[in-house]
Amino acid sequence: MEIKEKIQKLIDANSVCLFMKGTPEAPQCGFSMAVCNLLKHLNVNFNGVNILEDENLRQGIKEFSDWPTIPQLYIMGEFVGGCDIVKEMFEKGELNILLKDKKII
């Protein structure tokens, strides 16, 4: 399967999908951990995809979103942002609103 197809399937199958370094239980990077913690704090059920386990995926996700860094958060198939944007949205209460609008929390 083409890597882009694989990514599309992952974000279609999971209403909240986080491409990250490590796993939600054991993040391997501070930025990935920060986003996991915010999602956990908001009681969001999310799928963490460990890009460190698949070099194709690690490169592929950057091209897919035209975004050079990890983590990357997708909500209902839409790219929401990386750690800085997600943190900023959380602080402004926008992440909460988005998740409620999409009926995730």
Partner 1 sequence: MPLPINEIKKLITESIPDASIEIKDLMGDSNHYEATVISKIFNGLSKIDQHKLVYKSLKGKMGNELHALSITTKGK
Is the Cβ of residue 12 or residue 88 nearer to partner 1 in the bound state? 88
Q: Which of 84, 100, 101, 102 binds partner 1 (CB under 8 A)?
A: 84
Task: Report the C-alpha gap between 75 and 55 in whole angstroms.
Answer: 23
79 belongs to the binding site for partner 1 (CB under 8 A) = yes
The residue among 16, 57, 59 whose CA lies nearest residue 39 is 16
**Which residues, 6 or more positions from 98, have their beta carbon under 8 angstroms from its beta carbon?**
75, 80, 89
Give least dist CB 10 to partner 1, A: 19
Burial category of 91 from C-beta neighbours within 10 Å (exposed 0-12, middle 13-18, buried 19 and up): exposed
66 belongs to the binding site for partner 1 (CB under 8 A) = yes
Is the Cβ of residue 28 or residue 69 nearer to partner 1 in the bound state? 69
CB atoms within 10 A of CB 74: 25
Site string for partner 1, 20-49 (x = CB under 8 A): -----------x------------------
Binding site for partner 1 (CB under 8 A): 31, 62, 66-70, 79-85, 88-89
